[in-house]
Amino acid sequence: MVTREGQAPLAGVKVLDLSRFIAGPLCAQILADFGAEVVKIERPDGEDSRHHGPYYRDESIYMFLYHRNKYDASLDTRHPEALGILERLIEWADVVVENYRPGTIEKMGIGYERMKQLNPDIILVSISGFGQTGPDSRRALFDAISQASSGLMSMTGEPEGKPTLSGTYIADYTTGYQGAIGALMAILHRERTGEGQCVDVASFDTMFSALGIRLVSQLMLGLDMPRSGSRDLLTAPVNVYEAADGPIYIQAGTASLFPKLCEVMERPDLAADPRFATVEGRMTHQDFLEGEIGAWAATRTTRAIAEVLEDAGVPYAKVESVAEVARSPQIEARDMIVESEHPELGTIRMPGNPIKMEKTPPTVRKAPPRVGEDNEYVYSGILGLSNEDLIRLRESGAI
């Protein structure tokens, strides 16, 4: 899409967001951050996420994460008049984002074939658990199910422990990003050809594609790599060590980094030992090496360790808490916490967009809305309904 310098790259793109929870709303928010006009539809009592704590001034903070820059219109999709309203919004939209279980939008009367009748060049981004095809396509899925079914959970945790979930909703987030990429590719294709299309993004596929070296090792070598905890799969020594005041992660597994760590530790004997001269040797003896590094780290603070490792060029990181990293100068320098003023909720603080662009950066133009906050704009401003129509729809429970 051709844009003038300084103009948002998705300015003029209209998005109808029918999604819920995380992956779909995040996909639509990414488009909104780059200038798309996004209308989110949710039921009059609010989508499920609005009823999950913790709360800030009676509003779930889930809504602060995935709904900025959107216009919110309430609609009971089971109401007799809902189908007509949805069809008019589909006619208005360039992109529709939905993450219902496959088959649901067809039952609602707005499947892709119907969408194309209403809007021939429409782009539909369908985000689901297992995709629109395959024997598992109709199964319900949440983030944890994706982690378990895709193989990710089997790789996560200590070797002798249970398989473990990631500490965040990694499947939902990654699938949301993939949905946004798919939407952008479809928008670009339509710019060139005038053709819309359906974008099918599955959480299961997304996580499976992220299994990395473990997957290729299985496909090419028939090798099942066990869980490795915080160790690196391919090099050593790499792990978390307990310093005098907390944990620190040290990455010194390559041929160039290991001697630097030995020098910092004042252990030339380790660097000269032929057992540790190769990656394979260090992997074989990583229990011993980690014991030596752990004993060295235990007598020093994380700050002291960080200073000498920084000077030596050895990668490291103090294991930060969420509270610590949120206060870090790096987060501030990268604008990774942004604020927005809501007329009722006051100042809302949210994670910033990680995509930094020189000429067309993402922006926060509108605070995450409350349910139905923008009904008048959407139904009167976009669809042209009268005030009497709005009153009637409200009194009938449609909106």
Q: Which residues are catalytic?
A: 172
Residue type, 270: L
Rounded to whole angstroms, the Cα distance separating 268 from 31 reads 54
Q: Which two tokens stand for residue 239?
A: 């792990």
Closest by Cα among 313, 155, 319, 299 to 249 = 319
Hey, is 26 helix, strand or coil? helix
Rounded to whole angstroms, the Cα distance separating 235 from 278 reads 10
Q: Which two tokens stand for residue 243?
A: 């310093």
Rounded to the nearest angstrom, the gap between the alpha carbon of residue 269 and the centroid of all alpha carbons in its chain is: 45
Rounded to whole angstroms, the Cα distance separating 239 from 250 reads 6
**Sequence-distant (≥ 6) Cβ neighbours of residue 158 within 8 angstroms:** 227, 229
CB atoms within 10 A of CB 395: 9
Q: Name the β-bridge partners of 189.
A: none
Rounded to whole angstroms, the Cα distance separating 33 from 154 reads 35
Rounded to whole angstroms, the Cα distance separating 164 from 199 reads 31
Report CA-CA distances (Å) from 247 to 165, 230, 323, 369, 383.
21, 12, 15, 40, 57
Structure-token match 């989110």, residue found: 40
* DSSP class of 276: G
Rounded to whole angstroms, the Cα distance separating 17 from 158 reads 40
